[in-house]
Chains A and B, each alone.
Chain A
Amino acid sequence: NAGVTQTPKFRVLKTGQSMTLLCAQDMNHEYMYWYRQDPGMGLRLIHYSVGEGTTAKGEVPDGYNVSRLKKQNFLLGLESAAPSQTSVYFCASVKGETSNQPQHFGDGTRLSIL
């Protein structure tokens, strides 16, 4: 039972490089999310998707793009990485709109931008 799987787990980039983080879920969930976690700030929502082919901005979307071409996958892209994007990134998914459903989280991607 894989749940939510994030790849890669660790990555070091140089400023200006680009990369894509992949999130895959096998629970047939409609909603998927990308968060970033920084010390003392909890988790902040970057982008989210309410279904295949749809994406929307969250609280801190600048510098990131996302795509949801398949229901089970949600990709987070950094076009030109900046040191301020050094963080731990978490993907989450939930079945649907009902807000009493808990979100399921991946194990995170630790990204360092030099």
Chain B
Amino acid sequence: AQSVTQPDIHITVSEGASLELRCNYSYGATPYLFWYVQSPGQGLQLLLKYFSGDTLVQGIKGFEAEFKRSQSSFNLRKPSVHWSDAAEYFCAVGGVAGGYNKLIFGAGTRLAVHP
């Protein structure tokens, strides 16, 4: 079955520290992978996406993610976290299933940033 696992429900980091949010997926075909961010009271904003090619992808707001096929992972990273990065982060895997563009979301990781 297709699924996405985000093992960490909550993460707290200090401002300026590095960040890594974990994402593991189970998908029968070549995955298309996404990271979305949701600020409080807002909708989901796309941070970055992976379709093919270079396994290290750059996104907005200084985020990057690395696709590791052997580990079925797509972890999100940022070298130095800012207070404004406090939000909930969702990993998603996409594919065409049953004739429609389908996204499967992880449960999310809520990030808190200490000053």
Contact = CB atoms under 8 A, between A and B. Distances in A.
A26 B34 CA distance: 23
B44 A98 contact: no
B113 interface: no
A31 B101 contact: yes
Interface stretch (A12-20, A63-71, A105-113): A105-113
B6 to A, nearest CB: 8
A42 B35 CA distance: 13
Dominant secondary structure of chain B at its interface with chain A: strand
A43 B90 contact: yes
A99 B102 contact: yes
Nearest to A44: B105
Interface size class of B (residues with CB under 8 A): 20 to 34
Contact of B100 (A48, A90, A102, A107): A48
A97 B100 contact: yes
Interface size class of A (residues with CB under 8 A): 20 to 34
Dominant secondary structure of chain A at its interface with chain B: loop
A107 B101 contact: no
A96 B105 CA distance: 19
Given A40-B9, A90-B43, A103 B103 contact: yes
A84 interface: no
A49 B36 CA distance: 22
A102 B46 contact: yes
B36 to A, nearest CB: 8
B87 interface: no
A108 B38 CA distance: 11
Contact of A42 (B51, B95, B100, B107): B107
A4 B42 CA distance: 12
A39 to B, nearest CB: 9
Which 3 residue pairs are nearest across A and B when measured between Cβ atoms? A42-B105, A105-B43, A105-B44
Interface of B: 4, 9, 32, 34, 36, 41-46, 49, 51, 90, 94-96, 99-103, 105-108
